[in-house]
Structures are given as C-alpha cells and as structure tokens.
Amino acid sequence: MIALWFALAAVMLAVYVVMDGFDFGAGALHLVVARSDRERRQVLAAIGPFWDGNEVWLLAAGGVLFLAFPKVLASGLSGFYLAIFLVLWVLILRGIAIEFRSHVEDRMWRAFWDAAFALASTLAPVLLGAALGNVLRGVPVDAEGWFALPLFDSFSPTGALGILDWYTVLAGLLALAAIAHHGALFLAWKTDGDVRERSRRAAAILFPATVGLWFAATWATRAVAPAVFGNLPSRPLALVATVLLVAGLATSWRARRGGRDLVAFLGSSAFLLGTLAATAAAVYPTWLRSTLDPAWSLTAEATAAAPHSLAAGLAWWPVGFLLAILYCVVLFRLHRGKAQAAAEGEGY
C-alpha cells in the first residue's frame, strides 16, 4: 500500500505539470506570439477557463503527501522554506496579472501586467524544475529528518549545497524549455491566425532546445545521482515510462510538422508524463536522499502514515480523482474550438 501511495503522489504531481504546464508555457511566450492587445487577450482567452483549476492539482498533490507521507511534507516545507515562498509569490503574481490586466483600458497598465505575467510564468517552471533537481541530487537531511538550504552556496552539486547550483539550474532550464514547448503547442491548438502561426514557429524552435537540454540533464543526473540510473534495469515501470517519453517527444515533432495540433499537444503531454513517471520509478522508495548519510534518507516506508490512515484515504481518493477528471473533461468540452479575444470590457 505504501508503494501505491508513492505512485499516487507522483501521479498527482505529474498531472499538475501537464495541466498547469500549458498555461505556464503560454504565459512565458505570450509576449512573443501575441503582438497586439487583441492577440494577447486571445492568449488569455485560450488559458482563461483552465489556469486556476489547473493549480488545484498542486494542492491535491500536497494533500496526498499530507495524508500519506506527512514527515516528508514537514521536512520539505521546512528545508525549502525560501524556495517555496518564491514559488508562492510567483503563482500569486501570475494570478494577479491575469485578473488585473484588462481592468483598466490603459496601454501602460496593460504592458506592466503583461510583463509581470510573462516573468512569473517564466520563473515558475524554472523554480519547480530546480526543486526536482534538488530531489534527484539529494539534500543534507540529518539523523532527525530535517535539513536547511540557502538559496545558493558553492554552486556545485558536490560542494556546499544550496537550492541553486549548476545541476539544479540545468534542471530548471530543461523544465522551462519543455513547458514553453508544451504551451506553444497548446496555443497552436487553441488559437488561430497569427497567434497560431507564431506559436507553431516557437514550438519548432523550442523542440531542439528541449531535446538538447534533456540529454544534458540526463548526462548530468548520471554524474550527480548514479543510483537513479542503477535502478533502471530493475524497474520495469521506469523503462515503460522512458518509452512513453521518447514516443511522446517523437509524436509531438511529427504531428506539429503535419499540422495536427491536438496530437502534437498530446505528444508533449506524454513526454512530460513519461519523464516524471520514469523519475519517480527510478528514485522509489526514496523521497529525499540524504547527502550526509544514506541511512538518514527519507524513504516511503520510514515516513508513511499509519496503515489504517492509508487504507481510509485509499477509499476516498478514487472518488476525488474521478470528480477532478470529470471536471476537466466537461471544461474542455464546454470550451472546445478556437479561443477568441473577448470584447473590450468582457472577460480577460
């Protein structure tokens, strides 16, 4: 049951990356793919029905950790205190920028919030990617299960550790490229006219960047966390997920070139899901690896809640998950077709 809850937490995080990733990517690119006020409102119209609901998946992932692995959540919140506040401020700034942008019909006002939206949407995947890099690299967990990290120190993953070093920054850049590519494909699917064409061109540029950074991050992970690769031969799920990510990447490339925008977006989704699933399968059962002593690492078995709590949660989790999936299906069904900029004074 502990392994199942580990998988469920990984699933919730992966779904969050796929769902909130496309509006992060759209936000990071919207100053590039949308040149006029109408075009920028078209981008906001494309993500408008989805962005706030997508963030609920992050809360759901936190809820799974709170229920199943409370010690991991407590240690992570304490150790990554500064980084978590940075993420929260970025998410808050992004939401404010979306909501406030069209409240005043003034070019300077809208330009300011457009820039804030682009900045927040760019920083969010970088910070979240760096967080994953910290999980893979390891953190200085002590014998009592706690750790503390400055924002940066030696900037080396083998020296004095900080939240940011060359490895975690590389992971952040990979996340940014992959999420921006994902967002470009979403906009190509959901918009038309010049915005669609620019989004397709952006996706064409971001694809080789994503592939190159993926290879670089894979090589760096092999050097920084060799145990992750050592686990792959004995983890069939990791191998299946690796096939999924490669197939998704190839599908997104071929479908984009063939003008099949929805298929390209789904291929990008498969790439993100496969990448995170392969990572989760390779690191199991370790949540946070201790760089001080491997025996102090926070593992699923050592940090799991009581068996009766896990059993009770397992009875309710499918209900909530199915309701969330149903909500997403209905939402995409209601807002099918190409997004159009709302009339001045209406919508975003």
Q: How confident is the model at residue 280 (pLDDT cuts 50, 70, 90)?
A: very high
Backbone phi, then psi, for 164, in 5-degree steps?
Answer: -110, 125
Question: With 90 as the cut, is the pLDDT of residue 260 above it?
Answer: yes
Q: What is the DSSP letter of 295?
A: G
Report the alpha-carbon distance of residue 249 to residue 268 in Å, rounded.
6
Instruction: Please give the mean pLDDT across all residues of the chain.
Output: 93
Rounded Cα–Cα distance for residues 287 and 73 (Å): 10
- pLDDT at position 105, please? 86
Is 80 exceeded by the pLDDT of residue 344?
Answer: no
Mean pLDDT of 144-165: 91
**pLDDT tens digits for 30-52?**
999 999 999 999 999 999 999 98
CA gap 262, 254 in Å, rounded: 12
For helices 2-33 and 307-334, what crossing angle results, to 10°? 30
Tens digit of pLDDT for each residue in 55-80? 999 999 999 999 999 999 999 999 99
Of 196, 190, 192, 80, residue with least CA distance to 137: 80
pLDDT digits 0-9 by tens, 105-153? 889 999 999 999 999 999 999 999 999 999 999 999 999 999 999 988 8
Q: Is the pLDDT of residue 161 over 70?
A: yes
* Pairing mode of beta strands 286-288, 298-299: antiparallel
264 pLDDT exceeds 90?
yes
**pLDDT greater than 70 at residue 347:** no
**Residue 228 pLDDT > 90, yes or no?**
no
The helix, strand and coil proportions of the chain, stated in percent and rounded to the nearest 5, come to 75, 5, 20
Segment 9-24 mean pLDDT: 96
Residue 286: strand, helix, or coil:
strand
Of 229, 185, 239, give the one whose Cα is nearest residue 207.
Answer: 185
Sign of CA dihedral 44, 48, 52, 57: negative
Q: How much is the pTM?
A: 0.95
**Is the pLDDT at 212 greater than 70, yes or no?**
yes
Q: Across residues 297-326, what is the average pLDDT?
A: 93
- Give me the pLDDT at residue 229, please: 80
In terms of phi and psi (left: phi > 0; alpha: psi -120 to 50; beta: otherwise), the region of 234 is: alpha
Location of structure tokens 């960047």: 209
Average pLDDT over residues 318-322: 92
Q: What pLDDT shows up at residue 170?
A: 97
Q: Which residues contact 331 (CB under 8 A, 6 or more apart)?
A: 49, 50, 53
Distance in angstroms (rounded) separating the CA atoms of residues 18 and 85: 22
pLDDT at 345: 62
pLDDT at 230: 79
